[in-house]
Structure 1
Amino acid sequence: MTKGTDQEMTENTVTEIGWGSTTLESRRDLWSMPLDDEDRRLLRRDAAARAWSEGKEARERLRSFVQGSVASVGFAHVPDLLDPSEDEVDIVTSLSFLLRDFGEIIPQNAQGDLFRVLRDRDGDGATELGFHCDTCDVLVLLCLQPAVLGGGNTKLASARHVREIIARERPDVLETLEGGWTFDRTGRAGQQVIVSPILFTQEDGTTGCYYQTRTVRTSPERGGPPLSDRQWEALDVLDEVLYRPEIAFGLRLAAGDLLFIRNSRVLHGRSPYVDEPGPRARRVLRAWMNDGDR
């Protein structure tokens, strides 16, 4: 496990922490903010009313923690924030209000959906979802119901930590990953074709990432440039590093848990699960956000 050193905080840089799974397991305070019963009650009440009142102080603590954790670690976890037993429409209303402090909710697909419920579709939950980055600044996940039979855990990986390992073990591969890659997203919301490095240095000095393993591998089939032998090898090396036990951090979201992930800093995926049909089926509410601050 390698832990990156912090950067000095200046107007144009943020404190970045590179981490592996061991770091996160031992330092939960870096990324998870437990709420006391009173803060939870006030946040839920004001969110349902769509107006800040007695929950203002709890709101400031929540906003400060989430912004600080997303800036340093790349993600933030708030356990048991909303009541998952409420009607789904009411949950979306409350979550929409709370998210105003963190940016603009943007469409996730060509139909313009701002919120989507992720669930097993024709048994696809039994297949592991590989590491990737969504095409937004911040991914928001609210767990409505975890997989009752286990699995379905969110997997997280630090782009900085991954870059440090590849730079040390295979600098030739890092050079390839820092070149231009084509991601053909035709038919999805937002920009249809994206040309980007997979690993890069952002304007604030942090390590950035953009990766969609299936999209980049199949883009040549949709008219994109063919992948060279070096590029195929680089993708294989990247995937091998991402799946090392010391890299991937598995987080099991409980009902009501909220998770923020900065896509340009943290890659995410999902472990497989066996679902149970009916009201106990796994359901996760997803939102995409842009905050204008990468």
Structure 2
Amino acid sequence: MQVTELKIQQTPPALKFSTGKDEYEIPALWLREKTQDPESTDANTQQRLFDSHLIDPDVQLTEVEPLSQGRVRIAFSDGHSAHYTTDYLLAEIVDADHSPAPIAWDSSLDQRLIRHDWRALGDSKAFEAALMAYLQYGYIVLANVPNTPEQVLEVGRKFGYIKETNFGTYFEVRSKPKANDLAYSTVALGPHTDNPYRDPVPGIQLLHCLVNETSGGLSTMVDSVKVVDALMQEDLAGYMLLKNTPVRFRFVDKGVELTTRRPMIKTDETGQTLGVHYSPRLDSLPLLRADEVRAFHKARKRLAELFNHPDYEVRFRLAAGELMFFDNSRVLHGRTSFNPSEGARHLQGCYIDLDGPRERLSEIIKGSKQTEEAA
């Protein structure tokens, strides 16, 4: 929301904000909850010292008094009175989290936008650029990552917090006999979400290449935001089926069985696509009426065709010392098959929670503001 102005009205008492096109009055109840009175809100944590759920739902403004230096005093019908700054109120109206908007992409994506040098990320500006690129495109590739075992954990901790699973704190991606997952084989892997059978699904995946002596095993990436939008334009009814119909995902291993049910398409509260839960190796058709099953499968089939279409796929060779870092639900990953007789192919991977990069970005922005204020 583009807010251009906050208007103070004394008679009758009211606060309004303008978007340049329309004007809206701010509800008294909303303002009452936002009080910055030191006896009501802790200045350090910004957490409330009172139970806002018990505010009188019919509370009204009784006085709005403009003060100096962008401040205003607001009094309420329940007897409460507090000073507010207009900057604080405007920030709360916009409710910005400083994260950039996602940018949908296809096979034409300029790879220079997502490639960053690990050695430079000790500098806050370089780290901010890498974080912004990840939040916009859903993935980045880091070069010059030390080619040593468990280095993936250090990179993970730079961006967030390691998430341990039944595969361990980190996992080895290389072919092995009697593998408990096809990732640990030499076969091609189509675009997919890792661990869609978990609750929650791992947010971010890191894959660090230690050795790659094969001509095959190319890494593939597809932006589900772009693909889901294409499906929605083609087949809105099919899109709605995939968005609203729970699907079972199941993983079976020795002594472990993990099952969950969730729709294939994941959106936010406004309906914007956040990602997908997608793995043809692990899902099951939902049991619906025969006509509904056909319609669901038709939409699922078209989604698969789009995910596997070269117009949407980025394909590259991950070299030793490079690391893929991607949103596990937004950006589907896969690989081409490879011949182990050509040489070794060994990656190490781990997961971190989805909110890590946003937290790191907020730390940088907050630090920059404090430096500016001190100057």
The TM-score by the shorter chain falls in which range?
0.7 to 0.9
1:192 aligns to what SS in structure 2?
Answer: strand
**In the alignment, which residue of structure 1 is the partner of 2:159?**
102
After TM superposition, the structure 1 = structure 2 runs for residues 239-278 of structure 1, keeping only pairs within 5 Å, are: 239-276=304-341
> Which of residues 133, 143, 168 in structure 2 aligns to 1:69?
133
2:303 aligns to what SS in structure 1?
Answer: helix
- Asked whether the equivalents of residues 32 and 77 of structure 1 are also in contact (C-alpha less than 8 Å), the reply is yes
Report the CA distance between 1:183 and its aligned residue: 2.9
- Asked whether the equivalents of residues 210 and 263 of structure 1 are also in contact (C-alpha less than 8 Å), the reply is no
**In the alignment, which residue of structure 2 is the partner of 1:128?**
188
Report the CA distance between 1:262 and its aligned residue: 0.3
**In the alignment, which residue of structure 2 is the partner of 1:53?**
none
Report the CA distance shift for 1:186/1:254 in structure 2 as closer, same or farther (over 3 A). Answer: closer
- Asked whether the equivalents of residues 159 and 199 of structure 1 are also in contact (C-alpha less than 8 Å), the reply is no
Report the CA distance between 1:246 and its aligned residue: 0.6
**In the alignment, which residue of structure 2 is the partner of 1:214?**
281
Render the CA deviation track for 1:46-103: whole Å, top value 9, x for unaligned.
xxxxxxxxxx42xx34532332122100001111221x2x4x3xxx1x4323322322
- Asked whether the equivalents of residues 20 and 249 of structure 1 are also in contact (C-alpha less than 8 Å), the reply is yes
**In the alignment, which residue of structure 1 is the partner of 2:204?**
138
* Matching of residue 113 in structure 1 with residue 168 in structure 2: yes
Task: Specify every segment of 5 or more residues in structure 1 that has no aligned partner in the other structure, as ranges.
Answer: 1-7, 44-55
Task: From the two aligned structures, give the one with the greater strand fraction.
Answer: 2
Task: From the two aligned structures, give the one with the greater helix fraction.
Answer: 1
Cα RMSD for the two superposed structures: 3.0
- Asked whether the equivalents of residues 180 and 195 of structure 1 are also in contact (C-alpha less than 8 Å), the reply is no
**In the alignment, which residue of structure 2 is the partner of 1:284?**
347
1:127 aligns to what SS in structure 2?
Answer: coil
**In the alignment, which residue of structure 2 is the partner of 1:30?**
113
Report the CA distance between 1:284 and its aligned residue: 0.7
- Asked whether the equivalents of residues 33 and 77 of structure 1 are also in contact (C-alpha less than 8 Å), the reply is yes
Render the CA deviation track for 1:188-229: whole Å, top value 9, x for unaligned.
799933222212322584532111112113xx6xxx746822
- Asked whether the equivalents of residues 214 and 344 of structure 2 are also in contact (C-alpha less than 8 Å), the reply is no
Q: What CA distance in whole angstroms lies between the structure 2 residues aligned with 1:177 and 1:98?
A: 35
* Matching of residue 198 in structure 1 with residue 283 in structure 2: no
Greater alpha carbon shift after TM alignment, 187-196 vs 158-167: 187-196
- Asked whether the equivalents of residues 188 and 337 of structure 2 are also in contact (C-alpha less than 8 Å), the reply is yes
- Asked whether the equivalents of residues 152 and 348 of structure 2 are also in contact (C-alpha less than 8 Å), the reply is no
1:21 aligns to what SS in structure 2?
Answer: coil
TM-score by length of 2: 0.59
Q: What CA distance in whole angstroms lies between the structure 2 residues aligned with 1:156 and 1:216?
A: 20
Aligned pairs, how many?
248
**In the alignment, which residue of structure 2 is the partner of 1:79?**
143
TM-score by length of 1: 0.74
Greater alpha carbon shift after TM alignment, 136-145 vs 94-103: 94-103
Q: What CA distance in whole angstroms lies between the structure 1 residues aligned with 2:100 and 2:260?
A: 26
Q: What CA distance in whole angstroms lies between the structure 2 residues aligned with 1:153 and 1:192?
A: 29
Render the CA deviation track for 1:13-52: whole Å, top value 9, x for unaligned.
6411111111x2xx223211146xxx46xx7xxxxxxxxx
> Which of residues 169, 182, 189 in structure 1 aligns to 2:247?
182
Report the CA distance shift for 1:292/1:197 in structure 2 as closer, same or farther (over 3 A). Answer: same
Q: What CA distance in whole angstroms lies between the structure 1 residues aligned with 2:135 and 2:193?
A: 17
- Asked whether the equivalents of residues 102 and 291 of structure 1 are also in contact (C-alpha less than 8 Å), the reply is no
1:17 aligns to what SS in structure 2?
Answer: coil
Q: What CA distance in whole angstroms lies between the structure 1 residues aligned with 2:245 and 2:159?
A: 30
- Asked whether the equivalents of residues 80 and 254 of structure 1 are also in contact (C-alpha less than 8 Å), the reply is no
